[in-house]
Amino acid sequence: MMVSPLLVKARPEGREIVDVTPERAGWTHVGFRALRLKAGESEALATGTRELCLVVLTGTADVNVDGQSFPALGTRQSVFEEKSPAAVYVPAGRQVTVRAASDAEVALCTAPGGDVPREVRLIDPATMRRSVRGHGSNTRYVCDILPHDDPTAAHLLVVEVITPAGNSSSYPPHKHDRDALPEETQLEETYYHRLNPPQGFAFQRVYTDDRSLDESMAVENHDTVMVPRGYHPCVAPHGYDLYYLNVMAGPGRQWQFKNDPAHEWMLRPAQ
Question: Which residue from 242, 143, 234 is spatially nearest to 197, judged by alpha carbons?
Answer: 242
Q: Which domains are delineated in the chain?
A: 7-267 (2.60.120.10)
pLDDT over 60 (residue 49) = yes
pLDDT over 80 (residue 269) = no
Q: What is the predicted pLDDT for the residue at 217?
A: 97
Handedness of CA 222, 223, 227, 231 (dihedral sign): negative
- How do residues 109-162 score in pLDDT, each as one tens digit? 999 999 999 999 999 999 999 999 999 999 999 999 999 999 999 999 999 999
Cα–Cα–Cα angle for 186, 188, 109, rounded to 5 degrees: 130
Main-chain dihedrals φ then ψ at residue 129, nearest 5 degrees: -75, 125
pLDDT over 70 (residue 72) = yes
Q: For residues 267 and 233, which has the higher predicted lDDT (pLDDT)?
A: 233
- Torsion from C-alpha of 139, 143, 149, 153, nearest 10 degrees: -140
Give CA–CA dist 63/56, Å, rounded: 10
- Give the pLDDT band of residue 270 (cuts 50, 70, 90): low
What average pLDDT does range 253-266 have in this prediction? 94
- How do residues 195-233 score in pLDDT, each as one tens digit? 999 999 999 999 999 999 999 999 999 999 999 999 999
Kindly state the percentage of the chain with pLDDT values over 70: 99
Q: What is the predicted pLDDT for the residue at 2?
A: 77
Main-chain dihedrals φ then ψ at residue 265, nearest 5 degrees: -55, -30
Q: What is the predicted pLDDT for the residue at 1?
A: 63
Distances (CA, A) of 7 to 92, 105, 170, 192, 215: 28, 20, 17, 10, 9
ω into residue 182 within 30 of 0, thus cis? Answer: yes
Distances (CA, A) of 141 to 13, 130, 190, 228: 29, 7, 18, 24
Kindly state the percentage of the chain with pLDDT values over 90: 96
Give CA–CA dist 97/18, Å, rounded: 19
Strand partners, 64: 69, 97
What average pLDDT does range 39-59 have in this prediction? 98
pLDDT over 70 (residue 271) = no
Q: What is the predicted pLDDT for the residue at 14?
A: 94
What is the residue-averaged pLDDT of the chain? 96
Give CA–CA dist 34/1, Å, rounded: 24
Give CA–CA dist 248/114, Å, rounded: 15
Give CA–CA dist 21/105, Å, rounded: 19
